[in-house]
Amino acid sequence: MDCPYCSGKTRVTDKRNSPEGVRRRRECLKCKKRFTTYEKLGRSDLYVTKKDGRREKFSREKLEAGIERAFEKRPVAKERIEKMINEIEEHLMRHGKKEVKSSAIGELVMKKIKRLDHVAYIRFASVYRDFQDIKAFKKELREL
**Can you give the binding site for Zn ion, defined by CB under 5 A?**
3, 5-6, 8, 28, 30-31
Tell me whether residue 27 or residue 68 sits nearer to Zn ion (CB atom).
Answer: 27
SS3 for 41-75 is CCHHHCEEECCCCCEEECCHHHHHHHHHHHCCCCC
Rounded to 5 degrees, what angle do the CA atoms 75, 78, 65 make?
A: 100
Closer of 30 and 40 to Zn ion (Cβ)? 30
Give 31 or 65: the residue with its C-beta nearer to Zn ion.
31
Q: How far is the CB of 83 from Zn ion (least distance, A)?
A: 24
Contact, 47 vs 100, CB < 8 A? yes
Minimum distance from residue 94 beta carbon to Zn ion (Å): 24
The minimum distance between CB 33 and Zn ion, in angstroms, equals 5
